[in-house]
């Protein structure tokens, strides 16, 4: 388990308990900013802090060590994106890109014509 995965679990447990980050922080004696850093994976909480979070949310947190996480394949990731976005396709030209962005888009073959279909 890495910091991002643990952060997602902490956020999920907090939401399931119906708590805001500030409320959870108050219950365990820390700050809202500390909870935010944990949930975004910027900080790896100690086991003691994870235990306090689990107690405060009333839900256990299981940490598995020594198991290599499997990453989804590119096709699985694309399918997830398709499920969420449907037929939507982002058009970078709609937002009036800067000259540097235009150069980057053209270098990558992302012309205006490609998005005007």
The two structure tokens encoding residue 14: 């907090």
- CATH 1.10.260.40 is the classification of domain 3-57: yes
Give residue 117's pLDDT.
65
- Enumerate the domain spans of the chain: 3-57, 74-115
Cα 12 to the center of its chain, rounded Å: 11
Report, in this order, helix, strand and coil percent for the chain, each rounded to 5. Answer: 60, 0, 40
| pLDDT tens sequence across 95-117 | 889 999 999 999 999 998 988 86
Which of these ranges, 15-24, 26-35, 71-80, has the smallest mean pLDDT?
Answer: 71-80
Confidence check: pLDDT of 74 > 70: yes
Contacts of 109 (CB under 8 A, 6+ apart): none
Give residue 36's pLDDT.
96
């Amino acid at each position: 388990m890495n910091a991002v995965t643990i952060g997602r679990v902490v956020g999920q447990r907090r939401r399931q308990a119906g708590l805001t980050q500030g409320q959870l922080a108050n219950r365990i004696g820390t700050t809202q900013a500390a909870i935010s850093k944990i949930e975004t994976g910027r900080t790896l909480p100690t086991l003691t802090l994870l235990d306090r979070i689990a107690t405060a949310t009333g839900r256990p947190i299981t940490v598995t060590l020594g198991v290599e996480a499997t990453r989804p394949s590119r096709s699985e990731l694309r399918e997830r994106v398709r499920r969420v976005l449907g037929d939507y396709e982002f058009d970078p030209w709609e937002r009036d890109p800067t000259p540097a962005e235009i150069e980057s888009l053209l270098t990558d073959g992302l012309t205006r014509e490609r998005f005007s279909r």
